[in-house]
Amino acid sequence: MKYVKLGSSNLTVSQVCLGSMTWGVQNNQNDADAQLDYALAQGINFIDTAEMYAIPPTAESYGKTESIIGNWLSRNAARRKDIVLATKIAGPGFSYIRDGSNITGANVIAAVDSSLKRLQTDHIDLYQLHWPNRQSVHFGQHWPNDIQHSQLECEQEKAAMLDILQGLASCVQAGKIRYCGLSDDSPWGISQYLRLSAEHNLPRMVSIQNEFSLLHTKDWPYLIEQCVHENMAYLPWSPLATGLLTGKYLNGQRPQGSRLTLAQRHGLFRDTKSSNAAVHAYVNLAKRHNISPAQMALAWCAQVDGVTSTIIGATSMAQLTENIAAFQQPLTAELKQEINQTLRQYPSPF
């Protein structure tokens, strides 16, 4: 396993991050325990979760994943030092999470305390803002969109960001979190947080996790370039495009128990005519090179300059084994060239 620095932090993380959002709906405690044990045995030390999980998000599934991880930690206390544990505070929009309110400094403090209790640990290594208070360009809202911008809203947003950083600083000073990061944010969001941190001597954002895959490359190279030059870790989520890049959903297939058999949130239903055409091309390309479509997509993601650690997830041990193995063998120059040609043919299929 390859290990890298997490941006400007002093944390060293594996190039593979184990995602956990299915634990509590598609996977139970025993499944999660097995995945954690296997991942650690393979050298993965980076675990990502969120207060909003499991998914699909509901009032009933809220907090379940953190609780499952907490149960594992309570039985494996000696291994806490071996993992870099990341979680996230939910942004606005869910009535059952702080009445759907915005992220504020006070809400950060309250959410951190709740996550610590569910996780049964005394600190969180990386605490992330799951999505911004302002309308996000993520979760399928990047194109087309009708986002309106005004100077007044800009100033209000910056004041809110400063309040959030002050709440994060309180948690850092109390030893509850070590480092802070972003998720589903934009270059403007990155720039403002970095500027405010420097101006007010507040915690610096060390990472951002955004959606990134062969079907969703909008961050490349622009936002990723900023991450490289600002020494921020870039952490792709959904590198298999909600499973589409495995090919298992082609031609309308819906394998029993798979993600697309569950209710999908607005903006995340990606099984379209254009995405299917792109997936067909990638699946056929993988077959010609004797590699599984999933492993090709994951290996491609990992080799993009600027990617720090790729967040993977699985609902079965067979999937987890296949996904982790994808990072052990680099893509050939020939295959990378053919992938790039396919990317030009399908630059933005959804």
Where in the sequence numbering do the catalytic residues fall? 53
Cα 320 off chain centre by: 16
Residue 133: its H or E element: none
Specify the DSSP class assigned to residue 100: G
Give the full edge-to-edge strand order of the sheet including 84-89: 233-237, 205-211, 177-183, 124-129, 84-89, 46-48, 16-19, 310-312
Based on the number of CB atoms within 10 Å of its own CB, is 345 exposed (0-12), middle (13-18) or buried (19 or more)?
exposed
Closest CA to 218 of 138, 273, 148, 132: 138
Amino acid at 117: K
Q: Where are the alpha helices (DSSP H) in the chain?
A: 29-41, 64-75, 105-119, 151-173, 187-200, 222-229, 273-288, 293-303, 317-325, 333-345
Is residue 298 classed as helix, strand or coil in its secondary structure? helix
User: In whole angstroms, what is the distance from residue 1 CA to residue 45 CA?
Assistant: 10
Q: Angle 133-134-139 (CA atoms, 0-180°, nearest 5)?
A: 90
Phi-psi region of 290 (alpha: psi -120 to 50; beta: other; left: phi over 0): left
The structure tokens listed for 329 are 């063998």
Closest CA to 233 of 53, 107, 48: 48
User: Quick count: other Cβ atoms within 10 Å of Cβ 47?
Assistant: 26
